[in-house]
Amino acid sequence: MNKKFLRQCIICKEIKDKAELHRITRDYKTGNIMLNNKNEYQGRSVYICKNSSCCIEKALKGNKIKQILKGELSETKRDELCNLLKK
């Protein structure tokens, strides 16, 4: 059985297959906000379209990730995420 995991992009609200979305998680142990496409971390997560630079831009410029994950996102971390997401 090939069960699809559908998740919603926090920016455009489109519902897509998990494979088409970046997963960003606030690790419950460290509280760090990390890119989590390989499911290395556990904690509250948000999803952002992989192939929409618009969604990625908005997510990184706005406070949406911080608001939803209730975590801190430093400038450095934001730049780091920006590089990872735009690959």
Q: Where do contacts with Zn ion occur on this chain (CB under 5 A)?
A: 9, 11-12, 49, 52, 55
Name the one residue in this structure whose structure tokens are 């780091």.
80
Nearest to 18 by CA among 7, 28, 27: 7
CB nearer Zn ion, residue 27 or residue 64: 64
- Phi/psi region, residue 43 (left: phi>0; alpha: psi -120 to 50; beta: rest), is left
The 3 state secondary structure assigned to 66-78 is HHHHCCCCCHHHH
Query: What's the min distance (Å) between Cβ of 4 and Zn ion?
Result: 17
Smallest gap from residue 51 Cβ to Zn ion (A): 9
Which CB sits closer to Zn ion, 21 or 34?
A: 21
Beta-strand pair 15-17/6-8: antiparallel
Provide the minimum distance between the beta carbon of 18 and Zn ion in the complex, in angstroms, as a whole number: 13
